[in-house]
C-alpha cells in the first residue's frame, strides 16, 4: 500500500498548552456579578422654581434617620425591622386611617438623614422601603394576574407599577446643619 | 468459560486521551468568555453592605464606579484617616466627580449616554471581629456630597452597590 505523504503532527502537547491557558484564566476570573439598589436622583432644581404643589400631611410618610442611627418614623421611634410593615400599612391604607395615605398613588415616602448617619443603616432603610413596595407589587400581581411581579410581561408590570408607584423622596441637603 | 479467560489475560488497552484537548479547550473558552479583568486596584477599604431587594446591573461597559472608604492601611497617614473617594486609580476630591463623569461620557457613544449608570461602592464597615479588624463604615455626609455632585453633572442614574443577603426572610413564599 502507498504511504501517506505527510506524517501526523504530534498533538500531545496541545493539552498542556490548553491547560496552561485554562489555569491562567481560572486564576484571573472574577465571577461575581455586580448587584445593587438602583435609584434615580432628582434633577437639580432650576433657578426660578414655582412653589411645589401642596401635599397633604397624611400622604407623606416621614422617615428620619438621626446621627446615632436611630429611626424616627412619623415622629415616633421605630426599629428598622418594623419599617417594612409600617410602610406597607401606610401605602396600602386607601383612606381608611385618617393619618395614613389616601391611596398608593398619592403616598410619598420622605427620607431624610443626618450627615453623621452611617451608610449601612441608610442602605438598610432604602432596602426596607424597596421591599415594602416590592411586596405590595407582588401581592397585587398575584391577585390580578396570578403570578409574581417578576414573571409578568412588560405591560402587566407597567399596570402594577401604576398601581403602586414607588415614590421615595429625599430631602434636599442643607448647607451646614443638615437635619437635626 | 475459556472465552472469558482469554480476555482476562489480555493487556488493558490505554484510554484514548485524544479528546482531552477538546475538553480543556471547551473549559478554556468558557473562562475566557466569562472573565472580567480587574481594572482598578482598590485604594480604600471596602466591605459592600448587604441587602435583599437587589437587582443585577446590566451593561457593565456603561457603568462608572465611585469607591468610597478609608484608605487602605499602607496608604494611611495621620491626615487621611477620613473616608476618601477613589475614581479610577487615584484618590479624588468631591469636586473631581464632575470632570470624571465628563470624561466617562466622552469615551462612550452618544446614544449610550442616557443609559450610563454610576455605581457607588461605599464601605459599610466591619462589625464582625472574626472577619477582620473592626472598622466604622462611611457616613452619609460624603455620600450626600457625591450625590449632589452627580446631580450637578446630570448623572442621575445611580446604583448603591450591595450584595445579596439571603437570611432576611420575605413575607411571601419564594
Per DSSP, the residues of B102-145 read HHHHHHS-GGGGGG-EEEEEE--EE--TTTSS-EE--BHHHHHH
Mean pLDDT, residues A9-18 taken together: 79
Residue A57, SS3?
A: helix
Q: How far is A53 from chain B (nearest CA, A)?
A: 22
pLDDT for the residue A48 = 65
Distance from C-alpha of B80 to C-alpha of B14, rounded to nearest angstrom = 65
pTM: predicted TM-score of the whole model, two decimal places: 0.76
Question: Inter-chain contact B52–A131, Cβ cutoff 8 Å?
Answer: yes
Q: Give the span between the Cα atoms of A21 and A131, in whole angstroms.
A: 44
* Strand-pair category, A71-73 with A76-78: antiparallel
B153 with A35: CB under 8 angstroms? no
- Any chain B CB within 8 A of the CB of A113? yes
pLDDT digits (tens, 9 = 90+) for B75-89: 777 666 788 888 888
Lowest mean pLDDT among A5-19, A70-84, A125-139, A145-159: A5-19
Task: Answer yes or no: is the ipTM higher than 0.90.
Answer: no
Query: Span B7-32, mean pLDDT?
Result: 78
Q: Is A23 on the interface with B (CB under 8 A)?
A: no
Q: At what angle do helices A14-28 and B20-34 cross, to 10 degrees?
A: 20
Q: What is the mean pLDDT of residues B125-146?
A: 82
Q: Which of B35, B53, B156 sits opposite A127 (nearest CB)?
A: B53
Contact A119 B137 (CB under 8 A): yes
Cβ atoms of B7 and B85 closer than 8 Å: no
Domain ranges in chain A are 61-167
Please judge whether B32 and A25 are an interchain contact, meaning their C-beta atoms are less than 8 angstroms apart: yes
| Residues B143, A119: C-beta atoms closer than 8 Å | yes
pLDDT tens across A96-115, in order? 777 788 888 888 888 888 88
Q: How far is A14 from chain B (nearest CA, A)?
A: 6
What's the pLDDT tens digit per position in A58-91?
888 888 888 888 888 888 888 888 888 888 888 8
pLDDT confidence tier of residue A147, bands split at 50, 70 and 90: confident
Nearest CA in chain B to A29: B35
State the best of A38, A69, A80 to mutate against chain B, taking most chain B CBs within 10 Å: A38
What is the pLDDT, as a whole number, of residue B171?
37
More confident residue, B166 or A118: A118
| DSSP string for A113-163 | E-TTSBHHHHHHHHHHHHHHHHHHHHHHHHHHHSS-GGGS-HHHHHHHHHH
Amino acid at each position: 500500500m502507498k504511504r501517506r505523504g505527510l506524517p501526523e503532527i504530534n498533538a500531545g502537547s496541545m493539552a498542556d498548552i490548553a491547560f496552561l491557558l485554562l489555569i491562567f484564566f481560572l486564576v484571573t476570573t472574577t465571577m461575581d456579578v455586580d448587584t445593587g439598589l438602583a435609584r434615580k436622583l432628582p434633577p437639580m432644581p432650576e433657578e426660578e422654581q414655582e412653589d411645589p404643589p401642596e401635599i397633604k400631611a397624611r400622604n407623606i410618610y416621614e422617615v428620619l434617620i438621626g446621627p446615632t442611627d436611630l429611626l424616627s418614623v412619623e415622629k415616633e421611634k421605630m426599629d428598622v425591622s418594623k419599617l417594612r410593615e409600617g410602610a406597607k400599612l401606610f401605602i396600602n391604607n386607601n383612606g381608611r386611617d385618617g393619618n395614613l395615605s389616601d391611596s398608593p398613588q398619592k403616598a410619598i415616602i420622605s427620607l431624610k438623614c443626618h450627615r453623621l448617619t452611617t451608610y449601612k443603616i441608610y442602605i438598610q432603610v432604602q432596602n426596607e422601603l424597596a421591599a415594602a413596595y416590592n411586596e405590595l407589587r407582588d401581592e397585587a400581581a398575584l391577585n390580578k394576574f396570578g403570578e409574581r411581579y417578576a414573571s409578568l410581561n412588560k405591560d402587566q408590570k407597567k399596570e402594577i407599577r401604576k398601581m403602586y408607584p414607588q415614590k421615595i423622596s429625599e430631602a434636599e441637603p442643607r448647607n451646614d446643619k443638615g437635619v437635626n | 468459560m475459556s472465552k472469558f479467560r482469554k480476555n482476562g489475560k489480555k493487556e488493558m488497552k490505554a484510554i484514548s486521551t485524544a479528546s482531552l484537548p477538546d475538553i480543556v479547550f471547551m473549559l478554556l473558552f468558557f473562562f475566557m468568555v466569562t472573565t472580567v479583568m480587574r481594572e482598578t486596584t482598590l485604594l480604600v477599604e471596602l466591605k459592600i453592605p448587604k441587602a435583599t431587594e437587589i437587582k443585577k446591573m446590566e451593561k457593565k461597559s456603561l457603568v462608572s464606579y465611585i469607591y468610597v472608604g478609608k484608605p487602605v492601611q499602607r496608604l494611611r497617614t495621620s491626615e487621611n484617616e477620613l473616608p476618601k473617594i477613589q475614581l479610577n486609580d487615584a484618590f479624588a476630591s468631591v469636586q473631581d466627580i464632575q470632570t470624571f463623569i465628563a470624561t466617562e461620557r466622552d469615551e462612550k457613544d452618544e446614544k449610550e449616554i442616557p443609559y450610563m449608570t454610576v455605581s457607588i461602592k461605599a464601605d459599610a464597615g466591619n462589625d464582625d471581629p472574626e472577619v477582620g479588624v473592626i472598622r466604622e463604615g462611611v457616613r452619609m455626609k460624603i455620600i450626600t456630597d457625591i450625590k449632589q455632585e452627580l446631580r450637578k453633572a446630570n448623572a442621575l442614574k445611580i446604583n448603591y452597590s450591595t450584595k445579596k443577603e439571603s437570611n432576611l426572610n420575605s413575607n411571601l413564599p419564594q
